[in-house]
Amino acid sequence: MMQRFSISLDTGLLNSFDNYISNKNYSNRSEAVRDLIRQSLIKEEWERDKMVMGVITVVYDHHQPKLQEKITAIQHDASCHIISATHVHMNHDNCLEVIIVKDLADSVANLSASLSAIRGIRDCQLIMTSTGKEIG
């Protein structure tokens, strides 16, 4: 069910918000406010070490000795629940691994940090998202 509420803002802040909305291509203020609220709730889930979903992307050169084995070993030894790991051969040198994880926020962040710290990894990023339970 949708509920309405009104917000009082000073003119300067409202102008900044309208510029933000326009730059992000929102069609109205309500949709932008909903997204900002959800983003804040997700951030809080991560800060409070709640059950979350994370997507870790890893780019590396598979020619580097032992690198692929290390990436696989860390995932097998991880204490968190890995839902899927997808490997893409991007070109002659580079591989992309996309790892989807559901667990407590700290465990997911630790897995990402462990992968990121492996020597030879070209890029490692963590998308912090939600199980969806707390964002409606």
For Ni ion, the binding residues (CB under 5 A) are: 62, 89, 95
Nearer to Ni ion, 58 or 105 (CB): 58
Nearer to Ni ion, 24 or 89 (CB): 89
Give the shortest CB-41-to-Ni ion separation in angstroms.
Answer: 36
Give the shortest CB-64-to-Ni ion separation in angstroms.
Answer: 12
Nearer to Ni ion, 23 or 91 (CB): 91
Q: In what order do the strands lie in the sheet with 94-104?
A: 81-89, 94-104, 51-61, 121-130
Q: Which runs of E-coded beta strand occur in the chain?
A: 51-61, 81-89, 94-104, 121-130
Give the shortest CB-46-to-Ni ion separation in angstroms.
Answer: 30
Task: Please state, as a whole number, how many other Cβ atoms lie within 10 Å of the Cβ of residue 84.
Answer: 9
Instruction: Tell me the two tokens of residue 47.
Output: 């800060």
Task: Please state, as a whole number, how many other Cβ atoms lie within 10 Å of the Cβ of residue 126.
Answer: 19
Give the shortest CB-51-to-Ni ion separation in angstroms.
Answer: 31
Instruction: Compute the Cα dihedral for 24, 105, 75, 131 and give only its sign.
Output: negative
Please identify which residue in the block is written with the tokens 């991560």: 46
Nearer to Ni ion, 71 or 105 (CB): 71
